[in-house]
Structure 1
């Protein structure tokens, strides 16, 4: 008899997890989603077998329950589940970007015959919504599991959850909720604060000199693109990881004060060492692994200002069934070469695209 999986939250992550689990196991998948359009889409795309508006309907008799909702909604769903007669032996997990508070909320199950294990698949996409779901979204990505270190699920339950999720082809890492929030804070949450702050700073200068916005359309736009992420989501993440981020901000202020001292001193050697040390460490980071921030596999293509050139580039890739997830025209002026930025799902797609386009005499380059 097929086992039952309930996915609460039918967006990109929830839908992709449903597909990965269906690809590996003989299961009945129910979805829970407030938006009727998303429920209808998930059923029509065969991502789920049935979709309901309320968790009480979808989670009934479920062997595995995945809470794929914003972190502020996770606690509410946990307490609603705690008031239900869940199937004995059921596993409950979430996908939130912060873990300490969620795992604390999960303690409500400690006297019940179910187990809660915190989870965070560190993968994303340029697209959103259940219609963007894909089985391979989590492939080779880190998938962090955070069982309660005090009275959480036994080891066999952690292994059981990994077995449920093996269709993701992710790399599972186990750590404490506090360790997760500290590390996710420094490599994911904090960069969003910095990117957003940089944008605010440029906005302020642009009010005095409108030329600023035109000049910021190139490299500045690239290094701050994560500031375009969902404001409600990042508001909630910051509030849930407040302690770690406040500590990081204190450290950052010291780092900026050090930078200010170096600039004021005019010490050429010290400035060179500062930038050289940063370059050395950054260049040594694993370039082909998925981390906490979504990877962007960009290829820059020099193109002449000529009618039909964009359709020619995309047509070359389409003939080889190479999918482009984003395309941007960075520069188009009369009679000079412009630049297309093509974004791909994987580095393999980018390499193949570069090979094909260069064989057609296009000049290309990568910046990472």
Structure 2
């Protein structure tokens, strides 16, 4: 079986990145998009897609159909298209909850093939304008397929060029895992920021938070519109994860009330050990930023010289943060980059240009 045409429903961050990656690696593939007219116009003008579809049934003209709309919109399209597939067509979804699709599949008969995929990659900002053909490089992609066959291998071989690394998993197990490693952290981050946002005696507590607090709560800035359907579709697993987390909080309170610092020490040690076992090169739902810290003297033009040195070497600073400053002396700046390679290169260049820089270990 050969894939010569791809139809993508939803050209947001994930769908747009898939389209750009396929276009970059396999320009001979015909790519068609289904989305709002303004997004389709933008994608077509950038030559990311070859044709715009304004009716969902037009997707049935393609060998491979990718559903990348919000969960329930993708599910509605799944119910429309799956029964109409022929034996040479493959339908996949790339949504972040899988059980809802595997259960729905059992209600329909189809001559075609369905595979559930979930690329573990993302950014803080969504939309086609933020899509990137390198988004999936070395990212884990869960594959939920009860009937693996040659068509499965065809799709995975086809998508290998995107940089995804595939892991087969049961749909229900997948949903339990993402509830723990993605959905729980999102809600906990929201709760943490809201808990700290207190005011007393004219002081706003959150104004005194440092870079560590900002790092651990970065995902609290996520848009609820993007999360609402994910939470709805995986509600029971998320509730279970929150209850487990609540048990951890209750245990900490008990340790503190009883002055049981040995148990707290054990918790710290266990957390340190477990965190150090997280694979450093794994991408997650929010793509990590890599940073270096630089001391700059309090002199006019110093910051401009730093940014010019990096720009002249084609290094793009994704974000910059002032950590500490002492008037007349200088301050520490943290520079963020979108890859470990960029951060390493920036570190070497700054050292060569006599800047006092330190490279983050990432741990």
Does the aligned pair in 1 maintain the 2:95–2:117 contact within 8 Å? yes
Q: Is the 8 A contact 2:123 2:285 kept in 1?
A: no
Instruction: Give the aligned partner of residue 30 of structure 2.
Output: 28
Asked if structure 2 preserves the Cα contact closer than 8 Å seen for 1:98 and 1:181, the reply is yes
Q: Secondary structure at the match of 2:350?
A: helix
Superposed, 1:33-48 pairs within 5 Å as 33-34=35-36, 36-48=37-49
Say whether 1:97 aligns with 2:91. Answer: no
Per-residue CA deviation, residues 112-159 of structure 1 (Å, 9 max, x unaligned), is 211111111111134432233322211111011112x3xxx4422221
Counterpart in 2 of 1:242?
235
User: Normalising by the residue count of structure 1, what TM-score does the alignment of the two structures yield?
Assistant: 0.90
Cα distance, 1:263 vs. partner?
1.1
Among 157, 162, 183, the alignment partner of 2:156 is 162
Query: Does residue 134 of structure 2 align to residue 106 of structure 1?
Result: no
**Structure 1 gaps, min length 5:** none
Match of 2:308 in 1: 315
| 1:149-298 correspondence runs (5 A) | 149=146, 153-203=147-197, 205-206=198-199, 209-298=202-291
Give the direction of change, closer, same or farther, for the CA distance of 1:62–1:21 in structure 2 (3 Å limit).
same
Please state whether the residue corresponding to 1:136 is helix, strand or coil.
coil
Find the residue that maps to 1:327 and give its secondary structure.
strand
Q: CA deviation at 1:42?
A: 0.7
Structure 1 residues 272 and 91, CA, compared in 2 at 3 Å: closer, same or farther?
same
Contact 2:3–2:63 under 8 Å retained in 1: no
CA distance 1:259–1:348, shift in 2 (3 Å): same
Q: Report the CA distance between 1:319 and its aligned residue.
A: 1.5
Shift in CA distance, 27/255, structure 1 to aligned 2, threshold 3 Å = same
Deviates more, 1:285-294 or 1:63-72: 285-294
After TM superposition, the structure 1 stretch with the greater mean CA deviation from structure 2, 300-309 or 169-178, is: 300-309
**Deviation of 1:306 (Å):** 3.8
Unpaired runs of 5+ residues, structure 2, are none
Displacement of 1:292 in angstroms is 4.6
The TM-score normalised by the length of structure 2 is: 0.91
Q: State whether residues 328 and 340 of structure 1, in contact with CA within 8 Å, keep that contact through their aligned partners in structure 2.
A: yes
* Residues 249 and 125 (structure 1), Cα distance of their counterparts in 2 relative to 1, 3 Å cut: closer
Contact 1:23–1:167 (Cα < 8 Å) also in 2: no
Number of aligned positions between the proteins: 359
Q: Aligned-residue CA RMSD in angstroms?
A: 2.2
